[in-house]
Structure 1
Amino acid sequence: MTDFVTLNLDALPEAVELPSYDRSALKPRIAHIGFGAFARAHIAMHLHETLAETGSDWGMRAVELFGSPERFDMLDANDRLYTLVETSDEGKSTRLLGALCDTQHVARDGIAAIIDGLAEEDLKIISMTITEKGYCVKNEHLDTDNELIQHDLANLDAPKSAIGVIVAALAKRRELDRGPFTVMSCDNLPHNGKLTRISILEFAKTLDAELGAWIEANVSFPSTMVDRIVPALTDESIELVSEVLGGQTDPNCIVCEPFRQWVIEDNFMAGRPEWETAGAQLVADVEPFEEMKLRTLNGCHSFLAYLGFLAGKETISDCMADPVFHAEARKLMVDEQRPTLDVPGDVDLLEYADMLLKRFSNSQLKHRTWQIASDGTQKMPQRWLNSVRWHIENGSSYRHLVLGIGGWMNYIKGKRGGESYEVLDPMAGKLADIVSRFSDDATHYVDALLALDEVFPKDLVGNDDFRTAVHLAYVKVAAEGAQRAVEALAD
């Protein structure tokens, strides 16, 4: 058996905050599928603070369907406590989070145990962060061509996808008469509750119309908007954690920014924790908040990721240290994204943009442009293309947005200054094929990328002004370099 590093709680510095609630009273009432860095830093942290305020028994079980169970074994070795460091240029704070009361990993515990756990009577909510591709939705319907979905429809006793696992658990809950339930997406996707509902209902109805009808009547799918910058761990951030822990190491640690926002549609069939005591906003409609965040924060992040990376800037804070990138990022948010948004009356979008720029400037986070640049084919439609459509319809300028598209088209070639890098994307194979066949001819290369209807809607591609603007943006970045292309925006 592997020996795991364990924390000596008695030897921690006084500044490290420990859980103030009775962890022995916690029951796994929430199961979170996909317990990665963001879930640990945001979802579990909100529950941790809720428990400190309310003393309830709403504990969390972490569930993982892929990869190695070693990380969960390390969590268990530390009584499921782990370190969260919030850091900024103004200072840092450190605490051990304790809302986690159980872990289940398919490679260690088996799929039957996971399904049984999700069907337990005490469990009231399944939450999840499974990334865009985990929902297996295409053109607003379940993607029945997806290999995992095909497998799960034929093997519901041994599903592999999150969607198949949840439907198997809901079928068992129905069989055991366990009553109403809630499935809550926490992924950074527009209409994430709607997408969850589509995938689960269509999967269930394909199997059994009566099961689908039961889910429709007994399960709610609230949408959420999540916002916190949680970079991947680096050697530098691991050293920071060791420093604040008085020389100890925590393999489960998380380093993130102090800011966090969680907006939740208040639609829960079987109760919920009092998340509002930890600062969450419970609202009737999440959509205005998610559109604001996706277009303003995430849209600007992608602009900086592609163009900043190509310009040799390794982190978002490096981009912000460049006055030109800083100024043009603000113009993107204020001049091109703000007009497309319909936000609640108490939201000041100018103030929001300036707050985002301050967050982006946090030099302690080391949020890598290459990391943010991943999965562009999944991100561009909601971050940029819907805004482009608005500007075309209203006859206004979208030159920052289109330069971002030109930056992406250059980025996916996988070359910077003669050096190669990996392009992470669900469509990486198809993109690489286009690069290999057409990248020597700018016109054919851009046309081939615009022909990807999974990414670029036909109505945009059919607009001559848009096509021309994309061609010009690609050529400008390719010929002059990303730095000069961004500088030209200020001319």
Structure 2
Amino acid sequence: MSEKILNKKTLELLPDTVTVPAYDRSEVTTGIVHLGIGAFHRAHQAWYTEQVLERGARDWGIVAASLRSPTVRDQLAPQDHLYSLVEKSNAGEEVRVIGCVREVLVAPENPRALLDAMTAEEIRIVSLTITEKGYCHDPASGELNFDHPDIRHDLANPHSPRSALGFIVYALQRRKERGLPGFTLLSCDNLPANGKLLERVVFALASRVDPQLAEWMHGNTRCPSTMIDRIVPATTDADRDRLEGILGVRDNAAVMAEPFSQWVIQDSFLRGHPDWGSVGATFVEDVEAYELIKLRLLNGCHSMLAYSGYLAGFETIADVMAEPAFAALARQFLANEASDSVAAPAEFDLEEYQRQLLERFSNRALRHRTWQIAMDGSQKIPQRWLGTLRHQLQSGGSIDLLTFALACWIRYVSAVDDAGNAIEVSDPLARQLKSICDSCGDNTYELATAFLQFAPVFGDDLQHSQRLHSALTAWLASLKEQGVLPALQTRLEESLA
């Protein structure tokens, strides 16, 4: 292992094949506070912002914050907040060093420091990648959950909040008190109408804190919706070791990503935004059509492949796609049930989009683990599958593959795969879901009934669909008797007969 790490002193040692910041980082001032500096933000929004700085902008640097762990701060701080973005494809790799992050704060260590950063006059955007769980809402209703422990804590501790919502509300309260304007709240999480959701939960919390603050916020905040898309797998030690061989220095904060990236943004900002449109982002009046296509096709198919593939013993999505039955599953789901439920904008080529998805899922260089994609299913399924399912039920369309996916998820949260191995289920409702599985035992009819009646995921309506119940029961029985891959192969053979 090299004794040297990536930082501003070692930039000049990097090989010519690596792209490094060509601007003077000391001239950059902060315009954005980002909450949730995980790998996705560094591979997506920060990557777009980096390109804007390369084009001459100097007032859109990023101060980022972790709301939980110091890990990313501890990786980036010794590296002068530089990190590598490695774009991986079947054709090879391209490496770029990103320099737009100016500082990383760790909220639990010093919540006041984050509130101070968000209160600074020059901050015009607060962006978020906090995952579905971070919105402290009921996924079925979309309303703020005031019984969430973080929300209860934040209401009692305005100077040391825990949740992203608490930091936003109390920072806006301080700005109001100091006569400063507010800021744009930019959700970059995989949620339908993410801006509307963020606005709803933030205003709900603000109204509880101070109704006058909520009234002031109507003229001093904007919450545009966005659609974000880039596959960003977790970085492994093997990735870091291989990158060290390329760079000649160690980068402990490197992120991996596919070459493809997409960002569609509702053009509704309070005090301007970086010129992301000049570097590939798309500004539109309404994001809904784009986000539904992404959620129902890409995310819906991704989750379907993750649960079914994991149960069948496959580690990565590319491994899953190498099995002909799963590749056929993806093609059929995208072309039929998923596409039937969306209306593409006139300029959008839906067939080409499907072709791109199948190619992206087959990227062997991008080891996107099925277990990683399967995390937090109870929070993701309402957005990724259930909207499509409701559309298909209402229109009389096919629900065969959707119910296959649901059956696989139910098998997954039972915490045992097809080979009898234990599954480490990472989900905020894991205990409740496992309890349902245990209480129903081998009775697939009762299992389908119990899950469809589980309102935190399925709401109150789907339990009344006999067609859905019958299809789900049938798939649960097939999976139990045959296992995922044989059951899928049988169904595909029957469909071709």
Residues of 2 paired with 1:436 and 1:477: CA distance? 16
Residues of 1 paired with 2:332 and 2:71: CA distance? 45
Residues of 2 paired with 1:4 and 1:61: CA distance? 25
CA positional deviation for 1:107 = 4.1
Query: Which SS does the other structure have where 2:379 is aligned?
Result: helix
Q: Match for residue 130 of structure 1?
A: 130
Residues of 1 paired with 2:321 and 2:146: CA distance? 43
Q: 2:458 aligns with which of 456, 459, 464?
A: 456
Count of residues in correspondence between the two structures? 486
Query: 1:33, 1:127 within 8 Å by CA — same for their partners in 2?
Result: yes
Residues of 1 paired with 2:242 and 2:328: CA distance? 31
1:17 equivalent to 2:19? Answer yes
Query: 2:449, 2:463 within 8 Å by CA — same for their partners in 1?
Result: no
Query: 2:188, 2:227 within 8 Å by CA — same for their partners in 1?
Result: yes
Q: State the TM-score, normalized to the length of structure 1.
A: 0.96
CA positional deviation for 1:104 = 1.4
Q: Match for residue 106 of structure 1?
A: 107
Residue ranges of structure 2 left out of the alignment (5+ in a row) = none
Query: 1:400, 1:489 within 8 Å by CA — same for their partners in 2?
Result: no
Q: Match for residue 121 of structure 1?
A: 121
Q: Match for residue 145 of structure 1?
A: 147
Residues of 1 paired with 2:318 and 2:339: CA distance? 22
Query: 1:295, 1:384 within 8 Å by CA — same for their partners in 2?
Result: yes
Q: 1:418 aligns with which of 405, 415, 420?
A: 420
Q: Match for residue 29 of structure 2?
A: 27
Residues of 1 paired with 2:297 and 2:245: CA distance? 35
Q: Classify 1:241/1:439 alpha carbon distance in 2 versus 1 (closer, same or farther; 3 Å).
A: farther
Residues of 1 paired with 2:478 and 2:160: CA distance? 51
- CA RMSD between the two structures: 1.5
Q: Match for residue 391 of structure 1?
A: 392
Residues of 2 paired with 1:73 and 1:312: CA distance? 34
| 2:137 partner letter | V
| 1:206 partner letter | R
1:249 equivalent to 2:250? Answer yes
The runs of 4+ residues in structure 1 deviating greater than 4 Å are 3-7
Query: 1:28, 1:102 within 8 Å by CA — same for their partners in 2?
Result: no
Residues of 2 paired with 1:237 and 1:332: CA distance? 32
Residues of 2 paired with 1:237 and 1:37: CA distance? 14
Q: Match for residue 308 of structure 1?
A: 309
| 2:88 partner letter | T
Residues of 2 paired with 1:475 and 1:20: CA distance? 59
Give CA-to-partner distance per residue, 1:105-125, whole Å, 9 cap, x none: 1244x1111101100001111
Give CA-to-partner distance per residue, 1:153-190, whole Å, 9 cap, x none: 12212211110111010001111111142111000111
Q: Classify 1:70/1:335 alpha carbon distance in 2 versus 1 (closer, same or farther; 3 Å).
A: closer
CA positional deviation for 1:136 = 1.3
Residues of 2 paired with 1:421 and 1:332: CA distance? 26
Q: Classify 1:5/1:489 alpha carbon distance in 2 versus 1 (closer, same or farther; 3 Å).
A: same
Q: Match for residue 157 of structure 1?
A: 159
Q: Match for residue 227 of structure 2?
A: 225
Q: Match for residue 327 of structure 2?
A: 326
| 2:191 partner letter | L
Query: 2:31, 2:124 within 8 Å by CA — same for their partners in 1?
Result: yes
Query: Which SS does the other structure have where 1:93 is aligned?
Result: strand
Query: Which SS does the other structure have where 1:184 is aligned?
Result: strand
CA positional deviation for 1:236 = 3.0
Q: How many percent identity over aligned positions?
A: 41
Residues of 1 paired with 2:160 and 2:267: CA distance? 33
Give CA-to-partner distance per residue, 1:121-151, whole Å, 9 cap, x none: 0111100111111111222322111111111
Q: Match for residue 346 of structure 2?
A: 345
Q: Match for residue 211 of structure 2?
A: 209
| 1:28 partner letter | T
Q: Match for residue 402 of structure 1?
A: 403
Residues of 1 paired with 2:87 and 2:152: CA distance? 42
Q: Greater CA deviation, 228-237 or 275-284?
A: 228-237
Query: 2:314, 2:370 within 8 Å by CA — same for their partners in 1?
Result: yes
Residues of 2 paired with 1:421 and 1:392: CA distance? 32
Q: Match for residue 268 of structure 1?
A: 269
CA positional deviation for 1:274 = 0.3
Correspondences of 1:23-102 after superposition (within 5 Å): 23-67=25-69, 69-102=70-103
| 1:299 partner letter | G
Query: Which SS does the other structure have where 1:250 is aligned?
Result: coil
CA positional deviation for 1:4 = 9.3
Q: Match for residue 381 of structure 1?
A: 382
Residues of 2 paired with 1:225 and 1:371: CA distance? 21
Query: 1:384, 1:401 within 8 Å by CA — same for their partners in 2?
Result: yes
Residues of 2 paired with 1:439 and 1:236: CA distance? 41
Query: 1:33, 1:62 within 8 Å by CA — same for their partners in 2?
Result: yes
Q: Match for residue 433 of structure 2?
A: 431
Query: 1:132, 1:189 within 8 Å by CA — same for their partners in 2?
Result: yes
Residues of 1 paired with 2:323 and 2:238: CA distance? 23
Query: 1:28, 1:60 within 8 Å by CA — same for their partners in 2?
Result: yes
Q: State the TM-score, normalized to the length of structure 2.
A: 0.95
Query: 1:32, 1:128 within 8 Å by CA — same for their partners in 2?
Result: yes
Residues of 1 paired with 2:155 and 2:62: CA distance? 28
Query: Which SS does the other structure have where 1:104 is aligned?
Result: strand
Residue ranges of structure 1 left out of the alignment (5+ in a row) = none
Query: Which SS does the other structure have where 2:492 is aligned?
Result: coil
CA positional deviation for 1:259 = 0.5
Give CA-to-partner distance per residue, 1:35-86, whole Å, 9 cap, x none: 000011101011001111233321000111212x243133121111101110
Q: Greater CA deviation, 212-221 or 8-17?
A: 8-17
Query: 2:225, 2:266 within 8 Å by CA — same for their partners in 1?
Result: yes
CA positional deviation for 1:5 = 4.2
Q: Match for residue 279 of structure 1?
A: 280
Q: Match for residue 236 of structure 1?
A: 238
CA positional deviation for 1:6 = 4.4
